Amino acid sequence: MSWALTPLTEEQKAIQAVAGEFATTEIAPYTEQWDRDAHFEPSLVGKLGALGFLGMLLPEQFDGLGLDTLTYVVALEELAIVDASVAVMVSVHNSLPTQMILRWGSEKQKECFLKPMARGELLGAFALSEPDAGSDAASLRTQAVRDGSDWILNGTKAWVSSGAKGEVIMVMARTDNPEDRRGPRGISAFIVTPDLPGFSVGKKEDKMGLRASPTVSLHFSDMRVPGDRLLGQVGSGFLYAMQSLDNGRLGIAAQAVGIAEAALRAAAAYAAERKQFGKPIKEFQAIQFRLADMATRVASSRALLHLAATAKDRGERITQFSSMAKLQASETAMWVTTQAIQIFGGYGYVKDYPVERLFRDAKVTEIYEGTSEIQRIVIARELYSRT
Ligand SMILES: Cc1cc2nc3c(=O)[nH]c(=O)nc-3n(C[C@H](O)[C@H](O)[C@H](O)COP(=O)(O)OP(=O)(O)OC[C@H]3O[C@@H](n4cnc5c(N)ncnc54)[C@H](O)[C@@H]3O)c2cc1C
């Protein structure tokens, strides 16, 4: 069952069903193995592209599905219920690089990148974080210097999801002078492709969870970037990144709701099977209350997510809403997966059941695209900006 704030239309239900079916048949049989081997399955990109899931928010003129945001998050949740690693790849690609090119790219950039990205021929990634610039992303140090009509980039990006496989990487770099630092206004966005001389992929992180999503550092050593790869205006890249993260956070909220939903389903099923003291443990009120609290938190997280998505579809500014949705959903995912392990007892602590992976996958939703602390800062700041 998937509960929506407003009843889903027939088209929304159809997309949801396709996503669920794809996840069940093409991903579910391998989730455990990919998690164990930290394996990214490259064939998924083409398959997801063929279904339109890598151009969900792109208009049809760019081979996208032109979906509304609510349908997008509903589809993402279906993928995340089965595999959070696949969900983050789809979320980052759809919410960040493709949307940034659509919104701020030149006609030539749109023509060159969007159709192949929608079709799954090019996978997108987003490179804002650096080893010394995480929550304080505006302190990033990757430097871009003009050289004729080109730019020369030097620096290191950290934690880039899909970075090892990404063919279209949105890189935020400083374009101000070291003597005249302009804070966020000194940052520009560049469309980087791995064929540029001076580009290299660094360390692949050995992560606790989300193991089928490769997370890498990227190095730029005198990397020559053609001038027509600058996105939009010089000095506007940080603004573009922050505005895009409003959308990105809805994707992460959907991922977190999917993880929590999967843990709830697994725990409810196990509680009906597992017998102690001569009866299924679901007969114990302590277990019932735990399941009731889990279901309530999942439903309220989904409601907030759908509220934020529909606000976006009405064209409203959703900075506060998307941070609320991400905060609520990610903390719910962590809490619900913890409760699920408790319901499984010792069997929840081993890899025989999925709740152990769900617990590990849940944690990162409280960290990336802004930690829970950063979401609270955004939400509080927005309270005052409205008064
Ligand atoms: C698996 C994974 C995938 C990722 N994918 C990407 C990606 O694709 N692209 C990308 O650019 N980045 C990515 N990231 C990076 C992610 O966005 C950062 O890890 C995150 O923003 C936090 O930065 P940090 O790790 O440097 O922590 P820090 O910023 O060093 O924070 C450490 C702690 O201090 C807290 N803190 C910091 N500042 C404040 C404050 N002002 N008030 C209160 N508390 C504060 C934080 O909340 C946190 O608890 C990824 C990270 C992970 C783990």
pLDDT tens digit sequence for 4-49: 566 899 999 999 999 999 999 999 999 999 999 999 999 999 999 9
What is the 3-state composition of the chain as percent helix, strand, coil, each rounded to the nearest 5? 60, 15, 25
CB of 211 sitting under 6 A from ligand 1: no
pLDDT in tens, 209-231: 999 999 999 999 999 999 999 99
DSSP 30: G
Predicted pLDDT of residue 4 = 57
Q: Rounded to a whole number, what is the distance in angstroms from the first to the last CA of the chain?
A: 39
CB of 215 sitting under 6 A from ligand 1: yes
pTM above 0.95, yes or no: yes
Predicted pLDDT of residue 180 = 82
One-letter amino acid of 230: L
* Cα distance between residue 76 and residue 91, in whole Å: 7
* Cα distance between residue 269 and residue 289, in whole Å: 15
Ligand 1 center to 186 CA (angstroms): 21
Predicted pLDDT of residue 1 = 45
Contacts of residue 52, defined as CB under 8 A and 6 or more positions apart, other chains included, come to: 64, 65, 118
Average pLDDT over residues 48-53: 98
Other Cβ atoms within 10 Å of 304 Cβ, number: 22
Instruction: Please give the distance of CA 87 from its chain centroid, rounded to a whole number.
Output: 7
- Residue 34 tokens read as 């990919």
Which residues are identified as catalytic?
369
CB of 139 sitting under 6 A from ligand 1: no
Helix (H, G, I), strand (E, B) or coil at 126: strand
* Cα distance between residue 228 and residue 208, in whole Å: 39
* Cα distance between residue 78 and residue 121, in whole Å: 23
Q: What are phi and psi of 55, to 5 degrees?
A: -140, 35
CB of 210 sitting under 6 A from ligand 1: yes
CB contact at 8 A, 120 and 50: yes
Instruction: Please give the distance of CA 196 from its chain centroid, rounded to a whole number.
Output: 26
CB of 360 sitting under 6 A from ligand 1: no
**Among 40, 129, 171, 331, residue to substitute to test ligand 1 (most atoms within 8 Å of Cβ):** 129
- b/e sequence 3-25, b meaning 16+ C-beta within 10 Å: ebeeebeeebeebbeebbebbee
Question: Helices 355-363 and 319-344, interaxial angle, to 10°?
Answer: 150
Ligand 1 center to 242 CA (angstroms): 14
Atom of ligand 1 nearest to the CA of 131: 26
CB of 64 sitting under 6 A from ligand 1: no
The rounded percent of the chain whose pLDDT value lies above 90 is 95
Q: What angle do CA 209, 75, 106 make, to 5 degrees?
A: 95
pLDDT for 172 beyond 70: yes
Atom of ligand 1 nearest to the CA of 136: 29
